């Protein structure tokens, strides 16, 4: 009797968690955390089909400027993100762009500003189960460059700023202490979110491409509250992030 080999389980089949089968997705997937943001991606698409909705993973596929695009929600955190990426790879996705929300950690990062990730500090448990602690969590460089330049084009002439830098990928939203926030600020970490470590590490291990652009929800360093009335700016940032990701998919033929 042989134990199950999870590396080969499910390849080319309908997937156990996300419910998607080969042929139902594009080669490129946009990844918001929240299932309620998948329809925001669909607002930019034509011929949209809802492919599956299981657990926190809603998947829709449609066309943007003639190119087939899939959007799948990852849920919050690295465990469900790793599952979503693993299963999307098994049905043919070769490029991923996370379109997230994230908290700023440096002065001058304001709600709605766009954050392009140049690498993630792996403060999570999931990637520790995959690789050596020294393995870097880095996005695809071509996708990253494109996200930064398209995002800048989209916000030119507005108050919104585009920031690029290293982000933290934390596991525990409510365990982020003032000391941890101050330390991240001190070492120059730009922002914090909760999925990129898994996205980048799993993507590298599976030989596919990944990048991330986020809208700023708050600023943990200067005290701009998570709970205040900042939602319109956050939503505007989500829409610009999605547009930057879609344009990147078209321009790089992902």
Ligand X SMILES: O=P(O)(O)O[C@H]1O[C@H](CO)[C@@H](O)[C@H]1O
Binding partner at 32 among ligand X, ligand URA, none, C-beta below 5 to 8 Å by kind = ligand X
Cα separation, 241 vs 101, in Å, equals: 10
DSSP conformation class of 224: B
- With contacts defined by CB under 6 A, name the span among 13-21, 47-55, 96-104, 240-248 that binds ligand URA: 96-104
Residues 6+ away with beta carbon under 8 Å from 6: none
Total residues at the site for ligand URA (CB under 6 A)? 12
What phi, psi does 131 have (nearest 5°)? -145, 170
* Binding-site partner at residue 103 among ligand X, ligand URA, none, CB < 5 to 8 Å by type: ligand URA
Query: Residue 214 CB, nearest distance to ligand URA (Å)?
Result: 8
User: Minimum Å distance from CB 46 to ligand X?
Assistant: 24
Query: Nearer to ligand URA by C-beta: 45 or 181?
Result: 181
Q: CB under 6 A: which stretch of 21-29, 97-105, 108-116, 120-128 binds ligand URA?
A: 97-105
By C-beta, is 87 or 195 nearer to ligand URA?
195
Complex with ligand URA: residue 78 or 85, whichever CB lies closer:
78
Q: Which is nearer to ligand X, 33 or 119 (CB)?
A: 33
| Three-state secondary structure of 41-65 | HHCCCEEEEEEEEECCEEEEEEEEC
Quick one: what does residue 34 bind among ligand X, ligand URA, none, with the CB cut-off 5 to 8 Å set by partner type? ligand X
d(CA 122, CA 204): 14
Do 64 and 250 meet the contact criterion of CB atoms below 8 Å apart?
Answer: yes
Q: Which of residues 166-225 bind ligand URA (CB under 6 A)?
A: 170, 173, 176, 192-194, 217, 220
| CA dist., res. 96 & res. 208, Å (int) | 8
CA–CA distance from 45 to each of 107, 169, 243 (Å)?
Answer: 36, 30, 11
């Amino acid at each position: 009797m042989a134990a199950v080999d999870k590396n080969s389980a499910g390849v080319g089949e309908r997937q156990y968690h996300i419910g998607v089968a080969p042929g139902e997705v594009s080669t490129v997937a946009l990844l918001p955390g929240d299932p309620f943001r998948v329809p925001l991606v669909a607002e930019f698409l034509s011929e949209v089909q809802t492919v599956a909705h299981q657990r926190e993973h809603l998947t829709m596929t449609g066309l943007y400027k003639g190119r087939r695009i899939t959007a799948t929600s990852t849920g919050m955190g690295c465990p469900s993100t790793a599952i979503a990426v693993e299963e999307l790879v098994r049905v043919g996705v070769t490029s991923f762009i996370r379109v997230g929300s994230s908290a700023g950690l440096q002065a001058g990062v304001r709600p709605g500003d766009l954050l392009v990730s140049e690498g993630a500090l792996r403060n999570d448990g999931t990637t520790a189960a995959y690789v050596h602690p020294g393995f870097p969590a880095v996005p695809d460089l071509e996708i990253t460059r494109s996200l930064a330049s398209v995002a800048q084009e989209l916000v030119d002439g507005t108050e919104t700023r585009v920031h690029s830098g290293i982000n933290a990928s934390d596991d525990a939203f409510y365990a982020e202490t003032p000391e941890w926030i101050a330390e991240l600020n001190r070492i120059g970490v730009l922002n914090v979110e909760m999925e990129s470590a898994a996205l980048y590490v799993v993507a590298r291990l599976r030989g596919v491409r990944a990048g991330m652009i986020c809208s700023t929800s708050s600023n943990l360093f200067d005290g701009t509250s998570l709970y205040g009335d900042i939602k319109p700016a956050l939503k505007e940032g989500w829409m610009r992030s999605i547009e930057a990701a879609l344009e990147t998919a078209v321009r790089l033929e992902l």
